[in-house]
Structure 1
Amino acid sequence: MKKMRSETSPLTKKKKKEGLGWIELIRGWSCVFQEFLFQRVMSSHLQNPLPLPSLNHLTCIVTGSTSGIGRETARQLAEAGAHVVMAVRNTKAAHELIQQWQNEWSGKGLPLNLEAMELDLLSLGSVVGFCNVWNARLSPLHVLINNAGIFAMGEEQKFSKDGYEQHLQVNHLAPSLLSLLLLPSLIRGSSSRIINVNSVMHYVGFVDPNDMNVVSGRRKFTSLVGYSGSKLAQVMFSNVLLKRLPQETHISVVCLSPGIVLTNVARDLPRYVQVQYALIPYFIFSPQEGCRSTLFSATDAQIPEHCEKLKTDDKPICTFISQDCKHTKPSEEAHNIETANRVWEKTMELIGLPLDALERLIEGQEVQCRYGTHQE
């Protein structure tokens, strides 16, 4: 009865939000168009490729690293000396790339330290299995780069075998589960980082924690709704994760925009859109240009200090790096603490983890995941 009165009371807070207001949409789309039109000018101070320090001491996992931004990220990290794990669905393609890079690198120094491991983000069971195999090594992990993503054009909703809308699962749920289950290894890394390759499109995204699959009918599903919403959910989840991680874990959480990049994420775009992409090369980044904000986020020495400062704010947000490798703020909607906390709780439910999983993982305890048992 108390719950019913609170829901119908005249003192109830503002009506439940069901989408972005027109002012928020105008602001959001202005950010998108600004990035598209001016990203090359804004990034003109950056070298291409981005110079990297020696990374011999780092172990990095890069998802989706057989094409596009992930491929360039993995190659450049390896050439700088890092041990790079290519976490991919197609390990055959990854092994072929590794052999190609080794041949091209021959004579320039020590062989590149690369390996491939199978990971299918459309299967949460695959995520659990990958984490079990990696954590069993008891090795430190210094940088986790959640790079893989999809933007599947079309009005038809597609669902994973786990029952989740594919944008939601690949862009948000699977990376969230991966980040949490790899915490034991990230803690061993000391001053480690979780890097989420996000998108300026999160500025026009909206998340209803009670309808993250967008199946209630209150909102019409489109690929844009699925993609932008999944990217916003990732930022919100990252905000809460940064706040909840104890300072002594020394783990930084970063989201970033790579810019508007011509990659395989756009492979499902209609042919006429792909042709338009090809006709405007000045505005579109190459994968080598698009990976610069990822590499900056993974290697810049000031990132941990910046994350610690943000953690102490009243309205905590994770570090967000723009395509020109500068600190910026995520969208206005991403600052909604109440919604972010609800997204956190709903995400934990959807990925099959208990609400106290973060605390238990930090303490080194075994956590039962609905999609398999996670073991340190």
Structure 2
Amino acid sequence: MAKRKQGLGWIEWLRGWMYVIYEMLFQRITASHLHNPLELPPLSDLTCIVTGSTSGIGREIARQLAEAGAHIVMAVRNPKAAHELINQWSASWHGLPLNIEVMQLDLLSLDSVVTFANAWNARLAPLHVLINNAGIFSIGEPQKFSKDGFEEHMQVNHLAPALLSILLLPSLIRGSPSRIINVNSVMHYVGFVDTEDMNAVSGKRKYSSLLGYTSSKLAQVMFSSVLHKRLPVEAGVNVVCVSPGIVHTNVARDLPRIVQAAYHLIPYFIFSAQEGSRSALFSATDPQIPEYCELLKADEWPVCAFISQDCRPTNPSEEAHSVETSFEVWEKTLEMIGLPSDAVERLIEGKEVKCRYGTQND
């Protein structure tokens, strides 16, 4: 039997970092054809859920979609902060009243994810776009676990959005053609997922916040690729991962020294949150995205659509192309988030799916 891969080979690792550094140095040039802010079409017939929309990229995404006329649901941990933002936006906005509501969602609690999804699905309303934007990068911090027992980066950046995406399928199918947009990161190029040690507790690899972050982002791409394949064209739900570029929110203390030096030397190269929001906004609204996703599906391409910070399709990392590991990530993730392995198929058929988390089990 082939020996299990324990990590990225040094050539893969080096290539990954070269890609990250290249992105940092040249993102402003490669994206120079884009307007800032991105010009959006009228979106009054669109309902969008945006997680983590009180700060950074998520705040920009929610505000710009709302100003284009979309019905926005800010899915946030701190509803008070969200309501304050809505008041600010409304006060400075001169168009039609903004159609924004706030719902509580804490990604560090899988019970909270199930409660949120049940509350939304109970409305029997269509959902056109789910933007899984919330994420954490606890730079330089020691390893932490959620109350569900999972490493926090893995839970917030991958497990909770995965659970949310699957549980909201009934509403997304109702709103089809619809989209799941996962705000990913160029940092997944230096990520590696050990499916036997998703919590990074075995000690095989020394834990750092960088390891936690990059592996959670790669796990998200791998899971998204399998979900993309599992959703039949007739369901009308497309899955896209996007890179916002290197944005001013993640200044990184435990990145390699050369990358840190680049951060300090060249703030000019780093995107603002408004610039970083463009790839997600583009993927949520561009009419050609569903066509592109269907093309990849028909072509049996091993990965889902991945849109770069310059709003053009790009290729996820070499590791993301491992169909075998992606399937292992899929199986392991469903097990961790308490869903049966046929959850997607059952939901597509309109059947009920029981999750191990959530209030129905109290």
Distance 1:278 1:268, change over 3 A: closer
Distance 1:351 1:58, change over 3 A: same
TM-score (norm 2): 0.95
Deviation at 1:278, TM superposition (A): 6.7
Whether 1:149 and 2:135 are equivalent positions in the alignment is: yes
Whether 1:20 and 2:43 are equivalent positions in the alignment is: no
Of 85, 100, 113, the residue aligned with 2:88 is 100
Report the 3-state secondary structure (helix = DSSP H, G, I; strand = E; otherwise coil) of the residue aligned with 1:55: coil
In structure 2, how many angstroms separate the alpha carbons of the residues matched to 1:185 and 1:95? Answer: 25
RMSD after superposition:
2.0
In structure 2, how many angstroms separate the alpha carbons of the residues matched to 1:374 and 1:355? Answer: 20
Cα offsets for 1:233-292 (capped at 9, x unmatched):
0000000000000111111100010001012x559989x999985763211100000000
CA contact (8 A) 2:46 2:71 kept: yes
Any stretches of 5+ residues in structure 2 without a counterpart? none
Report the 3-state secondary structure (helix = DSSP H, G, I; strand = E; otherwise coil) of the residue aligned with 2:54: coil
CA contact (8 A) 1:151 1:266 kept: no
Distance 1:292 1:221, change over 3 A: same
Letter in 2 for 1:182: L
In structure 1, how many angstroms separate the alpha carbons of the residues matched to 2:237 and 2:23? Answer: 29
Deviation at 1:366, TM superposition (A): 1.7
Of 247, 253, 263, the residue aligned with 1:261 is 247
Distance 1:167 1:40, change over 3 A: same
TM-score (norm 1): 0.92
1:60 is matched with which residue? 48
Deviation at 1:368, TM superposition (A): 1.1
CA contact (8 A) 2:159 2:337 kept: yes
Any stretches of 5+ residues in structure 1 without a counterpart? 1-11
Report the 3-state secondary structure (helix = DSSP H, G, I; strand = E; otherwise coil) of the residue aligned with 2:267: coil
Letter in 1 for 2:307: I
Report the 3-state secondary structure (helix = DSSP H, G, I; strand = E; otherwise coil) of the residue aligned with 2:354: strand
- For the pair shown, the structure with the greater C-alpha radius of gyration is 1
Letter in 1 for 2:230: R
Letter in 2 for 1:191: P
1:284 is matched with which residue? 270
1:41 is matched with which residue? 29
Letter in 1 for 2:118: N
CA contact (8 A) 1:351 1:370 kept: yes
**How do 1:130-141 and structure 2 match up within 5 A?**
130-141=116-127
Deviation at 1:110, TM superposition (A): 1.4
In structure 2, how many angstroms separate the alpha carbons of the residues matched to 1:95 and 1:276? Answer: 37
- How many residues of Structure 1 are paired with residues of Structure 2 in the alignment? 359
Report the 3-state secondary structure (helix = DSSP H, G, I; strand = E; otherwise coil) of the residue aligned with 2:238: strand
Of 291, 305, 321, the residue aligned with 1:335 is 321
2:187 is matched with which residue? 201
CA contact (8 A) 1:132 1:374 kept: no
Letter in 2 for 1:322: S
1:214 is matched with which residue? 200
